[in-house]
Chains A and B, each alone.
Chain A
């Protein structure tokens, strides 16, 4: 019993950390532009692919540390380009919902590209770190590393939004875009930067989590779904909410896998999403925005 409980808790926490990292990467972009990137999960998977290509197997520890920033920067660069394309039609159009279509289209293209070049089977990546034992159960190291990465990005983003001029400017956009523009902020450039930061977050996550990630053409959307649920449960825009909701969701997903079977994991996630939206749409830590009439 304690054996199962340990697996559920530790792996749930690790998996949940990935969800929380995705949720935080959603939040960065969402707060700067109101955009919710449907392709975010595919970029996470791309981070995993980068690990599969850049690392030998079994990987060398030194190479791992060298390739971590390389993979992160590659994904961030791709995501910046994607962000640029997404922001393009918003520049001079009254139709401000085009991002829903363009990010979904990019998500499909990445998935299709991976399918064409890699085939339908999942890539495997070996861990550079030795697995560790919790209450007698062997646990792959990336679960712990993801948790550490979540805390690290959470603290960095907290510092970035509160202490740097650029971070404050992005926060200002999320408060009132028109006012931010009137105050002379270069809104488009800051929004693009937000895409880049979200790329750094998911790129590093994909690389670090690669050994425990499902690296295949069709798994991107599953991660988007869970990351989105973590963001909604935590409250859209709240990173504190994300780091609490993500692990919570991860543990629930693990319990569901153990109790009713892995094929129902997404169904349980969907159920959680519907319930939270029905009864507390602003999430656990979200603010209710006053409606202007």
Chain B
């Protein structure tokens, strides 16, 4: 193994994201604009900026839901209104204390979030957007229709709250509460991305299959996102009545939902400062500066959003961020990175050793008479497969012979029509994919699931996040070194072949003991292939992994595999030791013009 090329591990000059800067700036803006007008005693601006900053808090939550959790939810105004209205009904109509109003309002909004999450388990994308948008449209209609409980179109006046009485320090408690709330939402947004939950959510949003293969249930992530965001949005809603002193159906119509969504898009999706800028442009400017043109407020919403979409497809802050990142691009970012070298360098002492005989190694993966059809096509047609512990099992065959279908069935992403599967002696025929993954199965995909929103290290770290049911343990030194070297490197510019290696390393870091690799060597140069073969041997012989390898490069497979199964039209045509399989006449047509021992 050549150690010739040293890897430059210099610390990069710029940061991968400007989250930190945006965070502090955002915090400054929120606290400044809430507290200064109140301190100066200007009632109009105090009131205006209390509302603006409350909306900012909700828009930040919308940002988390839409970008980090990938849920197209247009109707958050209804959730906000639910919190506000239930608090209003509790205090204004039933004379409960405001504390009860907060509790009940938040609970109601959480329940609303559960209702939003239900369709999200079945449908995504614009279908979900439509359902939530329709809910936001129906919500004020229901407030009017159920006038027995809501006081209908007249709305509910609120008793004056102690929150609005200014304290001796010259500030109303309400201002402090709102500044603290929106500030905390900003903290939540920036911090959550650095947590296990935040990363799992992001992966589930970007690629449900990848999430499942890492043991994460996308449905659970969506539910958590909806419920968390709805509860907090409802909490924000309960702060609305004391600001305005009144709740009425028209305050929570469709425009409000659209404001929250557009604020994120215009400001810059995923950017901490985005919602702040978005609310300023879409709400503050039309409502304060253009107050005499109140009829044009809606027009301004639409026009600004459309103009922003055409001029800054990534939002205003988002476009600035892209420009900043381009400027900071360093030469070594440009595809020169060799992840496999960093990893292979760590494995200096390696002695290849022969595998124990079959009888001594337990069966880890077994397919029994598996069948799967897509319409008239029999993708898997009575397949039997046995993979024993520690072996590298090559799966070869022409395009469409059923190799990837078999991997999909084994990882639970599609179901067998008949037959059975077992992993480590457990029947997994009907098991959910994320549960199969938690048995210690890991897989890579033909189209590598690399997430440009994360650094290269982040792309590896989500593998560590995939260690479910395992105690938190300190990272070994060499993984720590990886973290230091790759934390600030963008995954966006990683060449294709290296993306596959990153994916392989991700499942290794997941501590999967059965690795299913789908054409991992495609896109690698001959030299890289040799190194990759070496990596496979290290994984198998030194780390004790069992590997199922789907690969078109037959030289590589025959060079590295312990067992080979040949598939053709969904059937197993040959299986056994490499040397034995190579002599079988069923497989000869595969080696036209090639020689194999």
Q: Which residues from chain A sit less than 8 Å from chain B, CB to CB?
A: 36, 85, 88-89, 93, 95, 98, 100-102, 104-109, 111-113, 115-116, 221-222, 225, 228, 232, 261, 263-264, 266-267, 269-270, 273-274, 277-278, 281, 290-291, 293
Contacts and interface: CB of A to CB of B under 8 A. Distances in A.
B209 A293 contact: yes
Contacts of B126: 36, 100
A85 B408 contact: no
A154 to B, nearest CB: 23
The 7 A-B pairs of least Cβ separation, nearest first, read A108-B302, A109-B302, A112-B298, A112-B299, A105-B306, A105-B305, A263-B145
Given A102-B309, A104-B258, A273 B131 contact: yes
A293 B131 contact: no
Contacts of B123: 277, 281
24 contacts: A36-B130, A88-B310, A89-B313, A93-B313, A100-B72, A102-B309, A104-B74, A105-B303, A106-B302, A106-B306, A108-B299, A108-B302, A112-B298, A113-B299, A116-B296, A225-B137, A270-B134, A274-B119, A274-B131, A277-B119, A277-B127, A291-B413, A293-B414, A293-B445
A261 B309 contact: no
Interface string B175-192: 000000000000000000
A88 B122 CA distance: 31
Given A113-B299, A228-B130, A266-B138, 19 more contacts: A89-B309, A101-B265, A101-B306, A101-B309, A104-B305, A105-B262, A106-B302, A108-B299, A108-B302, A112-B302, A221-B137, A222-B137, A261-B145, A267-B142, A267-B145, A269-B134, A270-B134, A274-B118, A293-B209
Nearest to B303: A109
A274 B132 CA distance: 10
A156 B129 CA distance: 31
Contact of B413 (A104, A108, A278, A293): A293
B485 to A, nearest CB: 28
Interface in B308-328: 309-310, 313-314
B144 interface: yes
A38 to B, nearest CB: 8
A278 B254 CA distance: 24
Contact of B298 (A115, A277, A281): A115
Contacts of B72: 100
Contacts of A222: 137
A199 B141 CA distance: 30
B286 to A, nearest CB: 11
Interface in B131-184: 131, 133-135, 137-138, 141-142, 144-145
Contacts of A95: 313-314
Given A106-B306, A293-B413, A98 B299 contact: no
Nearest to A90: B313
Contacts of B302: 105-109, 112
Contacts of A89: 309-310, 313
B404 interface: yes
A287 to B, nearest CB: 11
B295 interface: yes
Given A109-B299, A112-B296, A98 B309 contact: yes
B301 interface: yes
A207 B26 CA distance: 50
Contacts of A116: 295-296, 299
B262 A101 contact: yes
Contacts of B296: 112, 116
Contacts of B309: 89, 98, 101-102, 105
B374 interface: yes
A17 B375 CA distance: 34
B456 to A, nearest CB: 20
Nearest to B445: A293
Q: Chain A binding site: helix, strand, loop or mixed by DSSP?
A: helix
Nearest to B311: A89
A111 B309 CA distance: 19
Interface string B100-123: 000000000000000000110011
Contacts of B446: 293
A232 B299 contact: no
Contacts of A105: 262, 301-303, 305-306, 309
Nearest to B314: A95
A85 B306 CA distance: 9
Contacts of B138: 266-267, 270
Given A105-B309, A108-B258, A112-B299, A277 B137 contact: no
A100 B306 CA distance: 11
A88 B138 CA distance: 32
B295 A115 contact: yes
B571 to A, nearest CB: 21
Nearest to B411: A293
A261 B142 CA distance: 12
A269 B135 CA distance: 10
Contacts of B408: 293
A104 B275 CA distance: 18
Nearest to A117: B295
Contact of B306 (A36, A102, A269, A290): A102
Q: Which of B119, B298, B408, B446 has the most CB of A within 10 A?
A: B298
A4 B118 CA distance: 36
A266 B310 contact: no
Given A36-B126, A95-B314, A273 B303 contact: no
Contacts of A290: 374
B434 to A, nearest CB: 15
A86 to B, nearest CB: 9
Contact of A273 (B74, B130, B374): B130
A105 to B, nearest CB: 4
Contact of A270 (B131, B305, B313, B374): B131
Contacts of A266: 134, 137-138, 141
B155 to A, nearest CB: 17
Q: Which of B72, B131, B134, B445 has the most CB of A within 10 A?
A: B134
Q: Which of B119, B141, B302 has the most CB of A within 10 A?
A: B302
Contacts of A273: 130-131, 134
Q: Which of B133, B301, B309, B445 has the most CB of A within 10 A?
A: B309
Contacts of A269: 134
Nearest to B124: A281
